[in-house]
Amino acid sequence: MSITNNGMVLGATPVAADGPEWVAEPTAYDAILLAGFGGPEGQEDVIPFLRNVTRGRGIPEERLEEVAHHYRHFGGVSPINEHNRELKAALEAELARREIDLPVLWGNRNWEPYIPDAIREANERGFTKLIAIATSAYSSYSSCRQYREDFAMGLESTGLEGTVQIDKVRQFFDHPGFVQPFIDGVRDALVKARAEIDGLDLGSEVQVLFSTHSIPSTDAAKSGPESRGFDADGAYAAQHRAVAEVVMAAAEAALELDSETSVPWQLVFQSRSGPPSMPWLEPDINDAIHALAGGPTKAVVIVPLGFVSDHMEVMWDLDNEALESCEDEGFWAVRTPTPGIDPNYVTGLVDLVLERRDGVPVGDRPHVTDLGPWYDVCRPGCCENVRLGFKPAAAGVAP
Ligand SMILES: CC1=C(CCC(=O)O)c2cc3nc(cc4[nH]c(cc5[nH]c(cc1n2)c(C)c5CCC(=O)O)c(CCC(=O)O)c4C)C(CCC(=O)O)=C3C
Ligand SMILES: [Fe+2]
């Protein structure tokens, strides 16, 4: 991978460092690149998979053993690859329904089929312009830039940089298609809590915990473009807070609560993995649950706001650990669904592809928070990783 003398990264849409945040001209894409995290599909895959994920990351050995145990507990199989096969099929069905001729290629960051496999397949089928959907909604190194770096590395390792172009749809944390399944989930959970707990006061006796992956504080601070002036927790935390506010307002409206009543909620973090000496975003969801003990809370609603499907972080860290913490404290508790292949989500992803294909003006792009619509082309320095240092990335402006 090389950077041209005017600052453009080869393989990415050619825009200068001071180029546009949004691409308002149509682009004749040949195919969609569905980019997943990847997961093991049997006991023998567990260790090689974990090595792929943690290469060069300084994750303590004890943490790896603990995480290996989560996978071993489920036969060494993460459901994440099956989720992505289902999502691919759902996208294909929605594209066919709308008579849009865009094949979907699938490649993962950490397991087969790998991103370079998908890039090679694109080339073999004569595709030169790909629009990527990464299965990750928010801005941070792990949820945005790392996918873009893997695209750049994949183009380099296949020798196809300059031949195949990879663009990426904007981070979709505040796209209505992604947010609607969470609104439905919180509404349904509150209805259920009210039905099952006699005389429940939704204004004081429920706690909605919006949970997302913790990340190192240094990554959080660098999430999103510097120019936006976010606080120390960066765009990552700000985006989650903004979406949670929208979800709560919509769920409260659906329940027809009087305007005096607002349901208590907070943003919490899970799945921390660095050494204890390294600060990561807090509070941890289990600490937050235990801190509610002795207060008015009777019911806890856990919302996996940072995740698109019920993969290992949801199955283990929420459905096993966090629900157990609730049980320990005697709280009534439910975990609401992830978007999965909810029709709102699938339709929304196709809309995100079409807004790039058709060059929809930024003013016409759907978004439910004031932070969006997010950039088509990542800004200089966006989501960079100060621990790992600079690596070239596709679908953005250099550096
Ligand atoms: C922000 C974020 C998302 C959400 C965005 C997205 O969805 O992409 C996410 C998703 C996921 N993370 C996953 C798995 C793992 N993540 C790890 C480690 C890490 N994640 C991090 C962040 C994130 N991770 C970070 C900062 C690390 C430390 C290492 C590093 O600096 O990169 C490790 C290593 C062991 C451990 O320490 O836990 C594993 C096994 C799986 C697959 C689950 C399955 O198999 O079903 C998924 C979807
Ligand atoms: Fe992770």
Quick one: which of 10, 16, 13 has its CA closest to 29?
Answer: 13
Return the percentage of the chain with pLDDT > 90, whole number: 84
Q: Is the CB of 313 under 6 A from ligand 1?
A: yes
Taking the CA of residue 308 as reference, the ligand 1 atom at the shortest distance is 7
Residue nearest to atom 36 of ligand 1 (CA): 273
Contacts with 157 (C-beta within 8 Å, 6 or more apart), sequence order = 116
Q: 47 CB less than 6 Å from ligand 1?
A: no
Is 119 part of any domain? yes
Rounded Cα distance between 127 and 28, Å, is 11
Q: Which of 50, 54, 178, 317 to mutate to test the pocket of ligand 1 (most atoms within 8 A of CB)?
A: 54
The answer to whether residue 376 is domain-embedded is: no
Average pLDDT on 191-210 reads: 98
* pLDDT tens column, 337-367: 999 999 999 999 999 999 999 999 999 999 9
| Least distant ligand from the CA of 45 | 1
Q: CB–CB of 109/36 below 8 Å?
A: yes
pTM: 0.94
Is the domain of 184 the same as that of 48? Answer: no
Question: Which of 335, 351, 381 marks a domain boundary?
Answer: 335
Phi, psi of 36 (to 5 degrees): -110, 175
Take atom 31 of ligand 1 and give the residue whose Cα is closest: 57
The owner of tokens 């929420």 is 318
Which of these, 93, 347, 27, 112, lies nearest to 104 by C-alpha position? 93
162 and 185 together in one domain: no
- Pick the atom of ligand 1 nearest to 36's CA: 8
Angle between helices 61-73 and 46-54 (to 10 degrees): 140
Q: Is the per-residue pLDDT at 384 higher than 60?
A: yes
DSSP assigned state of 169: P
- Residue 12, in any domain of the structure: no
Q: What one-letter code names the amino acid at 242?
A: A
Residues 6+ apart with CB under 8 A from 342: 180, 181
Average pLDDT for the chain: 93
Q: Same domain, yes or no, for 97 and 226?
A: no
Backbone angles phi, psi at 50, to 5 degrees: -65, -35
Decide: 54 in ligand 1 pocket, CB within 6 A: yes
Give the pLDDT confidence of 39-92 residue by residue, as tens digits. 999 999 999 999 999 988 878 888 888 999 999 999 999 999 999 999 999 999
| Range 270-276 average pLDDT | 90
Residue 56 lies in a domain: yes
Question: Contact 135/144 with Cβ under 8 angstroms?
Answer: no
Question: Do residues 199 and 292 share a domain?
Answer: yes
Residues 186 and 241 in one domain: yes
The per-residue pLDDT for range 130-183, each reduced to its tens digit, is 999 999 999 999 999 999 999 999 999 999 999 999 999 999 999 999 999 999
The alpha carbon of 385 is separated from its chain's Cα centroid by a whole number of angstroms, namely: 17
Ligand 1 pocket residue status of 215, Cβ below 6 Å: yes
In a shared domain, residues 227 and 260 = yes
Where helices occur in the chain by DSSP H, the ranges are 46-54, 61-73, 80-97, 115-124, 146-157, 176-196, 217-222, 234-254, 285-291, 312, 323-328, 343-357
The number of the ligand nearest the C-alpha atom of 83 reads 1
Question: Is any ligand 1 atom within 6 A of the Cβ of residue 273?
Answer: yes
**What strands lie across the sheet with 104-108, from one edge to the other?**
104-108, 31-36, 129-134, 165-168
Tally of domains within the chain:
2
Contact 317, 277 (CB under 8 A): no
Among residues 319, 352, 310, 264, which one has the least CA distance to residue 86? Answer: 310
pLDDT of residue 18: 62
23 within some domain = no
Token representation of residue 41: 């599909």
**pLDDT value at position 134?**
98
Domain span holding position 352? 31-172+342-364
| Domain edge (last residue) among 294, 318, 335 | 335
Output the pLDDT for position 389. 86
| Cis preceding-peptide flag for 373 (omega within 30 of 0) | yes
With a CB cutoff of 8 Å and minimum separation 6, the contacts of 179 are: 173, 243, 246, 247, 368
Rounded Cα distance, 395 and 378, in Å:
7
Q: What is the pLDDT of residue 2?
A: 30
Output the pLDDT for position 13.
Answer: 40
In this structure, the residue with its CA closest to atom 20 of ligand 1 is 142
Whether residues 110 and 209 fall in one domain = no
Minimum-distance ligand 1 atom for the alpha carbon of 146: 32
Tell me whether residue 396 is in a domain: no
CA distance 364 to 89: 28
Query: Is the CB of 306 within 6 Å of ligand 1?
Result: yes
- The pLDDT value recorded for residue 112 is 98
Beta strands at 206-213 and 299-303: parallel, antiparallel or unpaired: parallel
| Cβ count near 38 (within 10 Å) | 23
Using the atom order of ligand 1, give the atom closest to the CA of residue 219.
Answer: 26
Q: Does ligand 1 have an atom closer than 6 angstroms to the CB of 67?
A: yes
Pick the more confident residue, 248 or 397. Answer: 248
To the question of whether residue 260 is assigned a binding role by annotation, the answer is no
312 lines ligand 1 (CB under 6 A): yes
Q: Summarize the confidence of residues 237-264 as an average pLDDT.
A: 96
Tell me the β-bridge partners of 265: 208
Local structure of 3: helix, strand or coil: strand
Q: Say yes or no: 109 and 39 in one domain.
A: yes
Distance 157 CA to ligand 2 centre (A): 24
359 with 331, same domain? no
Our answer on whether the CB atom of 109 is closer than 6 Å to any ligand 1 atom is no
Identify residue 70 by its one-letter amino acid code: H
- Token look-up 């960051």 returns 109
- Residue 313 labelled as part of a binding site: yes
Is 78 annotated to bind a ligand? Reply is yes
Query: Rounded distance, CA 272 to CA 258, Å?
Result: 38
CATH code, 294: 3.40.50.1400
CA of 213 to the centre of ligand 2 (A): 7
Q: Are 192 and 259 found together in one domain?
A: yes
As given in the structure block, the two tokens for residue 378 are 């990542």
Domain shared by 330 and 182, yes or no = yes
Residue 282's SS3 state is: coil
In angstroms, what is the span from residue 397 Cα to ligand 1's centroid? 25
Query: What is the phi/psi pair of residue 301, to 5°?
Result: -115, 120
What CA–CA distance (Å, rounded) separates 358 from 25? 7
Is residue 165 domain-shared with residue 219, that is, in the same domain?
no
